[in-house]
Amino acid sequence: MKTVLLLRHAKSAWDNAALSDHDRPLNRRGERSAAVMADHLAAEGPRPDLILCSTAMRTRQTLAPLVKALGLPAPPISLEKELYLASEDALLRRLQRLADEVKTVLLIGHNDGIGQLAAMLAGHGPEPALSELREKYPTGALATLRLPRGPWSALAPEACELQSFVRPRDLDRS
């Protein structure tokens, strides 16, 4: 069984017009959400065997508290420029190329691609999580999907079961 964790970067800042989109950092709310989601993933698992992350500043800042929360040894991390604003088809092709010894992968990326990929892969799962995932994939949201059989190359539309869909607001009680 394979597990795909799809994490959209946390809320980013828009207040510096001089920065390129790629270089936009998280805002305060985003930093708080990234920490909350990191604690959730570290506590609830599953622990990723590999982390794929866009090179954008906001995705790397979403990743940072997770690496700390997971502790040592950290899973291998691959920062990939091709994941920046990638379409769901490009993200799917990247996951299909994973080595079969990887059992759980965490992909940190951007909408629209990450949300569309989650909706594409989720063939079934619990309500209302499935409806919420398909309706809106907000910043900081995490979908956990299971591919019940086959290698990563078998990853295809509706091939997975949605295990959970968690948004920062579901966890942040402050």
The string of pLDDT tens digits covering residues 4-55 is 999 999 999 987 878 898 999 999 999 999 999 999 999 998 999 999 999 9
pTM: 0.96
Q: How many domains does the chain have?
A: 1
**Rg of the chain over CA atoms, in angstroms?**
15
pLDDT score for 45: 85
DSSP notation for 144-155: EEEE-SS-GGG-
Report yes or no: 1 and 149 within 8 Å, Cβ to Cβ: yes
- pLDDT band, very low/low/confident/very high, at 159 (cuts 50, 70, 90): very high
- pLDDT of residue 174 exceeding 60, the answer is no
> What pLDDT does 15 receive?
79
Q: Is 69 helix (H, G, I), strand (E, B) or coil?
A: helix
The residues, any chain, with a CB within 8 Å of residue 31's CB and separated by 6 or more, are 10, 61
Taking a C-beta distance cutoff of 8 angstroms, is the pair 162, 134 a contact? no
Going by C-alpha positions, the residue among 144, 129, 158 that lies closest to residue 6 is 144
44 vs 29: CA distance, rounded Å: 22
- Residue among 1, 94, 113 nearest 51 (CA): 94
The whole-number average pLDDT for the span 63-92 is 97
Write down the pLDDT at residue 172: 63
Q: What is the pLDDT of residue 18?
A: 81
- In the prediction, which pLDDT does 118 show? 98
For residue 78, what is the domain's CATH number? Answer: 3.40.50.1240
Q: Report the distance separating Cα 58 and Cα 122, nearest Å.
A: 26
Q: Per-residue pLDDT tens for 84-122?
A: 999 999 999 999 999 999 999 999 999 999 999 999 999
Look at 149 and 160; give whichever has higher pLDDT: 160
Q: Which residue from 35, 30, 38, 47 is spatially nearest to 106, judged by alpha carbons?
A: 47
CA–CA distance, 163 with 19 (Å, rounded to integer): 37
Residue 112, preceding peptide bond in cis (omega within 30° of 0): yes
Residue with tokens 């980013």: 12
| pLDDT for the residue 16 | 80
The residue range of the domain holding 8 is: 2-171
pLDDT at 61 over 80: yes
Runs of H (alpha helix) within 52-154: 57-70, 88-96, 113-121, 129-135
Quick one: pLDDT at residue 173?
58
Task: Kindly give the pairing relationship between strand 2-8 and strand 142-147.
Answer: antiparallel
